[in-house]
Amino acid sequence: MTTVLDTRPDQRHWSTVKQRQQATWASGDYAVIGTTLQIVGESLAEAADIRGGERVIDIAAGNGNATLAAARRFAEVTSTDYVLQLLECGAARARAEGHAIDFRVADAEALPFADASFDVALSTFGVMFTADHRAAAAEMLRVVRPGGRIALASWTPTSFVGELLRTVTRHVPPPAGAASPLPWGTESYLVDLFGPAAADIRCARREYVFRYKSPAHWLQIFRDYYGPTYRAFAALDAEGQAALAAEILALLTRLNRGGATSLVIRSEYLEAVIVRS
């Protein structure tokens, strides 16, 4: 039976920024959107060259896209996130496919695992949203064995999602001290974070394609279910909500390649594999 264990650090030690970020990702229902990104997890598992029997940790796993991709390759998988509801969604998906996966609530900046516990660490659009980037990078390096791999998928600053996040923060500024997630989508930043402890860093630019019925349909889904936009709209009065909606719709319309009857928008992300020295 798949179980979910709560191994979070003491709540008293969490910063205000982290608490707000956790509340953001716990709001809405990210799993509705997360499942549409499954192809990214599959691509990342291939880039990481995951092999049967390897010990794999998915960090900031959300509802488990990379988790399932690794399990489908017969790895021994531990799936972690600091939002219990998201892990429960991942656990339900794992049960439906018959995978035995260890799900644990855990902070990416303070993982409750011994040094060198894993052969591979994965994260798809996850650790890029941590409060303390260097702490998250250090934890990934710590729990992966020498010669093991860290594989990341992160939205690039110039991507559609990058533009979307900047649009949202113009209307609802992030909490003071919160670092932008977007530098994770650049090769130079990953070299800065991981370079001293890496034997090799390989990066490739990929594209994920958002496919929805229309700009209005995309906006409704993300307004209802995607934590950052859900919380942004909730923080605004009616006038502010209308202004944010109008700016997002303008962005969607400008980038849409789906014509008048659908929405098709490509969003670039950086796929990186770091080999630990």
Domain ranges of the chain: 4-207+269-276
Angle, alpha carbons 20-21-26 (nearest 5°): 95
pLDDT for position 5 = 53
Angle, alpha carbons 270-92-14 (nearest 5°): 60
pLDDT for position 103 = 98
pLDDT for position 172 = 93
* Distant-in-sequence, close-in-space partners of 230: CB < 8 Å, separation ≥ 6: 24, 27, 28, 222, 223, 224
Looking at domain 4-207+269-276, its CATH superfamily turns out to be Vaccinia Virus protein VP39 (3.40.50.150)
pLDDT for position 13 = 41
pLDDT for position 25 = 82
pLDDT for position 15 = 64
DSSP summary character for residue 110: B
Residues of the chain predicted below pLDDT 70: 1-15
First to last CA, the chain: 36
